[in-house]
Chain A
């Protein structure tokens, strides 16, 4: 089956496509037969002795036997430890309610900010943007966000202040942006100096020195969503030429 999966790596798969767990045709008598273990990531689901594709996208593979579907979905499902950009929608007692684009709102304790104590409350208003990570994210419980890491440091998280623009891109683009040595990021770096906060929930906050530039960056990133690398490079090159 692994070979069947490997053949399809890089191809577009659709929900309903399936792979079967078939026994190997030939079994070596001399070597010991090791059971193969396959790790299925997002978009792949096991059902009996079949492996079903449940998202449309490109099949990806990582050594030794990890497979997942790289999709361009926009709906976000919270995962523990991921950082998101959320909007504070309500203050109730000692928690803030934060909308992060998921099926329900997350709670964010006012103590979960760097340097916050019972006396020293953080200054967060309804409608503010927060960059936070999930402490609890599971399907049976209300998700909980924190703006500190394990050692109590903000580490980049907290309220996003000072203007800027929030816009939404697909989750696929977010992952591409956040990947180590991201090409998009380095391309963008050459174009415009700006502050960019990318949440795994598809929300991107960008801040640069002028409204025009911010708009351009937002539009560039949004159009990157549906472009191939070559198209993107071409586009960025054109922008740069127009600029310089």
Chain B
């Protein structure tokens, strides 16, 4: 099945918005979407949600004969599966260009960086080694598959435990988890990719492009880096000319992003570990229950409000009839819902709408003690009863990792609109109150 085509109007609007430093989902230029890491019931099963992009990684192991030229090293195998469920554009059982590209990139990121100690996977030299296979399944495609896949893969590898083995003479014994505790892989460092998309021949740069942005971008730069600021791989595609400064800037941004993501992964792993130790509920089923369709919950789309101040006065002064619109559209017929007469707005500010950014929220809750804000919160407190019931009993690991929010590195505009725009939607209630509980 063919993918939905991108219309000219969407393309033009996106580019125009990017020129004005706005994104459809209200993120800033360097913002990641909301990142959520959950684990399955098994070891080595990890789900990563990056906005609406969702991938699953499953690690498995097998005892095989080693490669001839490397008798002492285990084998790493990576595979990315693009199922038609993720996007109608993906076809079943056909290696598309995209999947080859992603596979190659993932291999470069994880295998070629030698982040995993393959020699520790050797059982009997030249005879038996562990083959570690990482399958990444794309469950939903909303852009930036590479970053989601790399996070999922490395987290799953960190989470994975292989069975313990012992050798007595020629005999190799593999112990079940009941007999001996399974052993984690030895991982030296965690390379994570960060994608940058370039627009208008490199004039504009965005981090973590969404699917629509990926469609209109001119070029893509993928940097794989670890927490120690070591670049593990760097790849530029799309055929744009990048200046040295641009690459340097991107690598700086990447280093900040990577350290944030690494912290998040560590935290998620820690939470999962404590949950498993405590014998609490963990795993896939737990991650699913809270997304009930009856919960009337929607992830908020943040809309940026940073430059409201300038524009506000502008609009008041320049309130004039807008240029003539397509005349045929004025006639209201069934199917045409026209609102207003196409005049410029006269009510002043164009503040944001339903939702502001998560972090702004945090700011608000922290430092904004205005009465309105208080009232806002009390309203919010009552809300979650509808949705929150099921969430109360959550596993630690889930609730926590879900909360995580990638915070922008360079808070470019420290003077965010100080007054709370008070536009928080009701749906936000649950998230907000949770945040308070946490504090």
Interface residues of A (CB under 8 A from B): 82-83, 87, 89, 99, 101, 114, 125, 127-129, 131, 133, 154-158, 160-166, 177-178, 182, 185, 188-189, 192-200, 205, 207-216, 218-220, 222-223, 225-227, 231, 234-235, 238-244
Contacts and interface: CB of A to CB of B under 8 A. Distances in A.
Q: Pick the most buried of A114, A193, A205: most chain B CB atoms within 10 A of its CB.
A: A193
Q: Pick the most buried of B329, B341, B343: most chain A CB atoms within 10 A of its CB.
A: B329
A155 B423 contact: no
23 contacts: A83-B333, A87-B4, A156-B333, A160-B326, A165-B10, A166-B9, A177-B337, A192-B345, A195-B339, A197-B329, A211-B22, A212-B350, A216-B352, A219-B303, A222-B301, A226-B298, A234-B426, A235-B425, A239-B423, A240-B347, A242-B349, A243-B349, A243-B351
Contacts of B297: 226
Contact of B351 (A198, A225, A235, A242): A242
Contacts of A164: 9, 13
Interface in B286-310: 296-298, 300-301, 303
B13 A235 contact: no
Contact of A178 (B16, B296, B334, B350): B334
Contact of B336 (A99, A197, A215, A238): A197
A40 B45 CA distance: 46
A63 B6 CA distance: 43
A101 B421 CA distance: 36
Contact of B298 (A157, A212, A215, A223): A223
A216 B303 contact: yes
Q: Pick the most buried of B11, B13, B297: most chain A CB atoms within 10 A of its CB.
A: B13
Contacts of B344: 193, 209
A65 to B, nearest CB: 25
B328 interface: yes
B167 interface: no
A144 B297 CA distance: 38
A219 B355 contact: yes
B422 A220 contact: no
B26 A212 contact: no
Nearest to B318: A209
Given A156-B331, A211-B17, A128 B337 contact: no
A242 B311 contact: no
Give the 5 A-B residue pairs with the shortest CB-CB distance, closest first: A83-B335, A193-B340, A242-B351, A127-B8, A242-B421
B24 interface: yes
A239 B300 CA distance: 15
Given A185-B339, A211-B13, A154 B328 contact: yes
B118 interface: no
A195 B325 contact: yes
> Chain B binding site: helix, strand, loop or mixed by DSSP?
loop
Interface in B69-101: none
A241 B13 CA distance: 27
Q: Pick the most buried of A83, A212, A241: most chain B CB atoms within 10 A of its CB.
A: A212
B369 interface: no
Nearest to B319: A209
B179 interface: no
B329 A195 contact: yes
Interface of B: 2, 4-13, 16-17, 20, 22, 24, 26, 296-298, 300-301, 303, 311, 322, 325-326, 328-329, 331-345, 347-355, 421-427
Contact of A223 (B17, B300, B329, B342): B300
A154 B427 CA distance: 41
A244 B336 contact: no
Contacts of A99: 2, 4-5
Nearest to A105: B2
B364 to A, nearest CB: 13
Contacts of B427: 223, 226-227, 231
A218 B303 CA distance: 11
A243 B303 CA distance: 14
B354 A223 contact: yes
Contacts of A212: 20, 22, 311, 350
Contacts of A177: 337
B354 A220 contact: yes
Nearest to A178: B337
Given A205-B9, A216-B352, A158 B328 contact: yes
B326 A162 contact: yes
Given A87-B4, A87-B5, A227-B426, 9 more contacts: A127-B11, A166-B7, A182-B337, A196-B338, A198-B336, A211-B16, A212-B350, A215-B24, A234-B426
Contact of A214 (B13, B336, B355, B422): B13
B353 A220 contact: yes
B340 A192 contact: yes
A238 B422 contact: yes
B421 to A, nearest CB: 4
B390 to A, nearest CB: 17
Nearest to A159: B326
A173 to B, nearest CB: 12
A226 B296 contact: yes
A87 B215 CA distance: 16
A99 B7 CA distance: 10
A101 B311 CA distance: 36
B340 to A, nearest CB: 3
Given A83-B334, A212-B22, A125 B426 contact: no
B375 to A, nearest CB: 11
Nearest to A12: B294
Nearest to A99: B5
Nearest to A206: B339
Contacts of A182: 337
B8 A125 contact: yes
B9 A129 contact: yes
B344 to A, nearest CB: 5
A213 to B, nearest CB: 6
Contact of A156 (B16, B332, B348): B332
